[in-house]
Structure 1
Amino acid sequence: MEDVLTENPPPSRFFQEDLNNFASPPPEPLPSPFIVFSNPKPELPLKPSLLIIALSSPSLYIFHTLPSKTLIGTLIIPELPFSGNTVEPSLQDKSCNIYSLSDNNNNNNSVLLVSVQLPVPPERSNLVSRLLVGQDIVPARVIILDSIQSRNFRGRLSPDEALAAKLETSSEKKAAATSRLSLDYFPSGSVIDGLSASLLSRCQLKNIRGTLVVSWPEFDPSVVRFVGALLKSIVPSLDIKSVDKDLEKYSSRTGLKRDAWLDSDLYT
């Protein structure tokens, strides 16, 4: 008796070309993300002494209100539409702008900020992180500001209690203690994913000093005060007091009390 499992199948009545007509065509690969610089002929890669990447709502809000910044480029993810974006930078835009922060003690390109206001798909995180760290921009040090996601945190997160923690690359841990951020480490067993994790991994791979700072709640006056104080300690020339200019309008939109924002030495 013939073995039906190993016996060669009968010849098909179709040619292989005919069978291929029934298969769906493979999807075309998406174009890679890229950066458009204001200067049509920039000297790449840019080599800032510090690159600050804002992902969390508090950090995005603070840097949106800073007066001492100059737009020098925009990171484009081709599949994400620009519909609804305004001509002037806005917190409601889905954009990823790159700014140069003016510093009295350094040249204009010594401190760069990346304001990530668009949702980066997980499968594109590695490509985006390569552009920002090690390809078009080669910083000496990177600070990443993100929020803690409750689903990835091992433990209880109280909505009324602010929390901040850090993760560091090996190069950052070897740096002088006085130049590092004085924060507790992110608890063991908790997870960081998405673009922030990809950026920190990129820093580790390129042997760059990198620190990821995560905070909770995602948006709260106490967290804004913390992020403002942190940035002021890193870049002393930043004009954090400018946050107060649009505070009343922004607080009314988010339902926060204006007095809660002003209860800080940063704004006095």
Structure 2
Amino acid sequence: MEDVLTEIPPPSRFFQDDLNNFAPPSPPVPSPFLVFSNPKPEAPLHPSLLIVAISSPSLYVFHHMSSKSLIGSLIIPEMPFTGNSIKPSLGDKSCHIYTVNNASNSILLVSVQCPISAERSHLVASLLVGGQIIPERVLILDSIRSQNFRGKLDPDETYAFKLETSLERKELGRDSDSSPLLKGLDYFPSGSVIDGLAAALLSKCQIKNIKGMVCVSWPEFGAPVVELVKTLIQKNVLPSLELCVHAEYRRCSRTKDHYFDSELYT
């Protein structure tokens, strides 16, 4: 006769997926959306250039650019506003939209100071490219993740690479009025990966047949890479604008818990 106390119990009649049917479903998370200032600009917006700053160096450079005006924000419902300041600050978890005060062209700047999850990247990209904003050209500024780079990265050296849509490359190959945004910059090495919001934005540009380019820089933080990004922007993108970047550089921490010692970057 079997010992019912020591015998291995039979498996459950339910699979794990079946057990989840008894739990109430999680409430859906609202989609991201754009909010513009009052008076609201005419929609959709048609800037000649849309700049999306994601990397810490590019955020720092554009934060200190005085010739810009706040016109709206990208709202990520799951991102709390707790701890944000009234005026735009590098320590905020926010995503603001600015117009760049440039007489020759209409330029929009999106300052992405909050983390965008992979599953929300395509929703955000759809809002910024092809929705209420239809740009002629897009420039995305991001950082290189060492785990995504095929090759060796020296932490004491600065690097910058580009990746572009087929239309951007085709237009620059013709005798047209288009001028290269990042002239002379090397292409991102084959086998390396760009992911997250930058990849989603570039993919959206490719699908919408919009000229687009990603510029990634290394390292993610530090005064030398800030100077590199600043030089690239002044030389190739906004030559007529003054970018006043302080000599002291602090990491724009998205967690607001860790800062580099400012003495290291003066």
Report the TM-score range of the alignment, normalised by the length of the smaller protein: 0.7 to 0.9
Q: Following superposition of structure 1 onto structure 2, how do residues 97-246 of structure 1 map, counting pairs within 5 Å?
A: 97-106=96-105, 110-176=106-172, 179-180=179-180, 181=182, 182-232=184-234, 233-240=236-243, 242-244=244-246
Cα deviation 1:70-92 (Å, max 9, x = unaligned)? 00000001111010000010000
Q: Which one of 254, 260, 263 corresponds to residue 254 of structure 1?
A: 260
Q: Which runs of 5+ in 2 are unaligned?
A: 1-17, 252-258
Cα distance in 1, alignment partners of residues 203 and 21 from structure 2: 42
AA matched with 1:214: V
Letter of the structure 2 residue corresponding to residue 156 of structure 1: K
AA partner of residue 255 (structure 1): D
- AA aligned opposite 1:136: Q
Check conservation: 1:104, 1:237, Cα contact below 8 A.
no
* CA RMSD, 1 decimal: 2.1
- Using the TM superposition, name which of 181-190 and 117-126 deviates more: 181-190
- Relative to total residues, which structure has the larger helix share, 1 or 2? 1
Q: Distance in 2 between matches of 1:226 and 1:20?
A: 55
Alpha-carbon distance, 1:222 to partner: 2.1
What TM-score, normalized by structure 2, do the two folds share? 0.83
CA offsets per residue over residues 127-182 of structure 1, 9 Å max, x none? 00000011011000000000000111111111011111111001100122572222
Aligned to 2:53: 54
The one-letter code sitting in structure 1 at the alignment partner of 2:72 is G
Residue 73 of structure 2 is aligned to residue 74 of structure 1: yes
TM-score by length of 1: 0.82
In structure 2, distance between residues paired with 1:166 and 1:249: 24
Q: State the 1:36 CA deviation.
A: 0.6
| 1:2-13 superposed matches below 5 A | none
Percent identity, please.
59
Whole-Å separation in 2 of the counterparts to 1:235 and 1:187: 26
Q: Which runs of 4+ in 1 moved over 3 A?
A: 19-22, 247-251
For these two proteins, the number of residue pairs brought into alignment is 235
Deviation string for 1:27-66 (max 9, x for gaps)? Answer: 2221110011013543111000000100011100011011
